[in-house]
Amino acid sequence: MIGLRRALVLAGLVLGQAGLAQAPKLAPAPKPELAPKTDAAQKPDLAYGAYQAGHYRRAQTEALKRIEADNGDAAAMTLLGEIYRQGLGVAPSQKAATEWYERAAERGDVNAIYALALALLEGPDKANQARAGALLEKAAAAGHPAANYNLALALLATGQEPDAKRAVACLEIAANANLGDAEYALAILYKQGRGVARDEARAADWMARAVDNGAIAAEIEYAIMLFNGSGVAKDEVAAAKLFLRAAYKGNAIAQNRLARLYQAGRGINPDSAEAAAWHLAARAQGLSDPVLDQLIDRLTPEQLNRAAQLAAQRIESTALTSALTTSAEPLK
């Protein structure tokens, strides 16, 4: 049987075929939601409240108090696992994190089961691969969205149609929980007709949902679908806006696509300087485009200098956007 770690990697290659903009993110996928524990009187959850506010040392103290009062408080144990895994207010310790996940998993906490599966998967001991797979299956069976997403990727890597059909079912669970990467992967399967009947309209619908949930790869794919009218009404202006949004997030593919639109004046006002600038931004990331390279070669020294200045501004803007969109946020 294919190893789980290798399966997750291979799944990215499988979904990345057919000229797609980029493969979906692999494990660990979206962070698990950690549900706070409350009593009948709905007292404030001091541990999770402190965690969400970024007061991690206090969150640790309050979680330990909860466990001291109730040795069955699995949610507090999972919270401690997250604190140690990320090194929030404490020195990061995978060993301590795994121990807390183990304790919480033994008490049936599905978030801990999922987190433990990933901890074992990412650990150096390959002997833990089988157990990681079993834990992932268990968390997925319990309806954990991210576990279903990761399990779907592993199933797709086998290349077997029955597994592809099961992967679709897992992705639907994750997608219906608004996981953008799962919605994107499901859209790709509908585009490919893999595990499901090929359906461009449903692919477009899932792709649009993935865009709404922040999947940058979906922004590019949906922009292409809008531009070509594949499964959705043709709308070059909307496509250009999506390429622009993804370009400002630093995606080199989107930057080159946007450059081509500026060059041709499709969906956006023609502007050779912007076209050159966005291509230079993409080329700075190592992505070439022969057609756009010719555009650069035709520029005068003055035009090239101006394009380089604009490219520097675009690169600075994309770095700022990336920093703002990828900054760490506490788990909810």
Place of tokens 């250009």: 240
Is pLDDT at 75 greater than 80 in this prediction? yes
Q: Any idea where the domains of the chain sit in the sequence? A: 235-332
Classified as helix, coil or strand, 80 is: helix
To the nearest whole number, what is the mean pLDDT of the chain? 85
**DSSP alpha helix (H) spans, 17-109:** 46-52, 56-69, 74-86, 94-106
Taking residues 104-109, report their average pLDDT.
96
Going by pLDDT thresholds of 50, 70 and 90, the confidence category of residue 314 is confident
Residue 110 C-alpha from the chain's centroid: 21
Residue 35 DSSP label? P
The whole model's pTM is what? Answer: 0.80
8 A C-beta contact, residue 25 and residue 181:
yes
Tell me the HSE value of 274 on the side-chain side, using a 13 A CA sphere.
17
The closest of 246, 248, 226 to 236, measured between CA atoms, is: 226
Classified as helix, coil or strand, 233 is: coil
Place of tokens 């639907």: 172
The closest of 103, 153, 166, 136 to 32, measured between CA atoms, is: 136
- 222-253 pLDDT, tens per residue? 999 999 999 999 999 999 999 999 999 999 99
Q: Dig out the tokens for 266 from the structure.
A: 């499709």
Percent of the chain with pLDDT over 70: 83
- 155-208 pLDDT, tens per residue? 999 889 999 999 999 999 999 999 999 999 999 999 999 999 999 999 999 999
